[in-house]
Amino acid sequence: MSGVLGANSVLVQAMLVNLLLALSLQIPLRSGVFSFAGLGSYGLGAYTAAIVVLRFDHPALLALAEGVLLSGLVGVLLARLLRRLNGLYLGMASIAYGGILAVVVANGGALTGGAEGLYGVVADLGLTEITVIVLLVVVAVALSERGRTGRAVAAVREDPELAAAMGVDVARVRFVVLVAGCMVGGLAGGINAIMLTNVAPTDFGFHLAVLGLTMIIVGGARTWLGALVGAAIFTWLPIALQALGDWRTVVYGCLVAAVAVWAPHGLIGLAGQAVRAVRRSASRRKPPGPGAGRAPTGAAEVDLLAGEGVGASVGRPM
């Protein structure tokens, strides 16, 4: 590991966990499924990994896999249970999953460590392994944004009825993304528990929902790049703003409000708009070729008024 990366390895690990957390919310949201189930799964993945490492001496990778699997199974049950809910109602119902889990583990006795949680979750999981795991998840998510899957997801988000009329199984897409979000959330929790060597019921409270949403709002909710940008900003910004003390919260608030108002698709959306504007202006500067003089939209000649003795046209030299 190079010098800078090595010196900041804890922050890099935290950023990777934050990236997974953001993706756990973004994957369903990209299909228009407003689900916080990934946050509950974050807790489930964390506790599963901690318990199997502490009680059964499972290696880190196996512990993570078990956390992901259990999170996926619970995700399947949740997706079936909540399949008729949408929008804010689904958000409220799915956030309750994390709340219920927090109460269960706080009262789980010796198995979960009660209100204090579990300590000494020591397993061999380095930055390289975490990076490779996160990279695999990111590649899978990036692939799901392209081609047929990407178009189906966009259609389900923007217009479910249209998607169905195009042959997309809307219910199946919504089911899959909710379960996938749960699995990624479980992975994030498992890595975090092993990385910090402890887990407590307060780890996956409401603050985690705020952090996750903030990351994808600021970065951009439509692509994994947005989650990456959001995770990077909200991992490193607290360090950069340490001198401000409690005023950091004000800076966070202003940043989120500014992005929500002026860049509703996040910083990545803003960058995309800028790139498109540059391309458009570059194409306008190109010397006119054959067919110049037609309407800039490529529109065929359009009769605006076609009454008797009255005529006007767009795109045709008068």
- Residue 152 contacts other proteins per CB under 8 A: yes
Least distance CB 229 / other proteins (angstroms): 18
Single out the segment in contact with other proteins by CB under 8 A; choices: 27-35, 109-117, 153-161, 243-251: 153-161
Short-list 1, 23, 27, 26, CA closest to 12: 1
Please identify, among the stretches 16-24, 78-86, 167-175, 230-238, the one whose residues bind other proteins according to the rule CB under 8 A.
167-175
Minimum CB separation from other proteins for residue 303, in Å?
5
d(CA 23, CA 175): 16
Distances, alpha carbon 46 to alpha carbons 31, 51, 152, 208, 209, in Å: 26, 9, 32, 14, 16
Q: Which residue in the block uniquely carries the two structure tokens 């178009």? A: 151
147 lies in the binding site for other proteins (CB under 8 A)? yes
Number of residues forming the site for other proteins (CB under 8 A): 28
Evaluate the CA torsion angle 121, 128, 203, 177 in order and state its sign: negative
Q: Does 303 bind other proteins (CB under 8 A)?
A: yes
The stretch among 76-84, 95-103, 155-163, 212-220 that binds other proteins (CB under 8 A) is: 155-163
Supply the minimum distance, in Å, between the C-beta of residue 237 and other proteins.
28
Secondary structure E strands in the chain: 118-119, 198-199, 302-307, 310-314
How crowded is the C-beta side of 24, counted as CA atoms within 13 Å? 34
Query: What SS3 class is residue 123?
Result: coil
297 part of the interface to other proteins, by CB under 8 A? yes
- Give whichever of 116 and 158 is closer to other proteins, judged by the CB atom: 158
Note whether 162 binds other proteins by CB under 8 A: yes
User: Which residue in the set 151, 236, 238, 271 belongs to the binding site for other proteins (CB under 8 A)?
Assistant: 151
Q: Which of 25, 64, 138, 168 binds other proteins (CB under 8 A)?
A: 168
- Chosen residue from 81, 165, 250, 258 binding other proteins by CB under 8 A: 165
Length of the chain counted residue by residue: 318
- Which residues contribute to the site for other proteins (CB under 8 A)? 147-148, 151-152, 154-155, 158-159, 161-171, 222, 297-303, 306
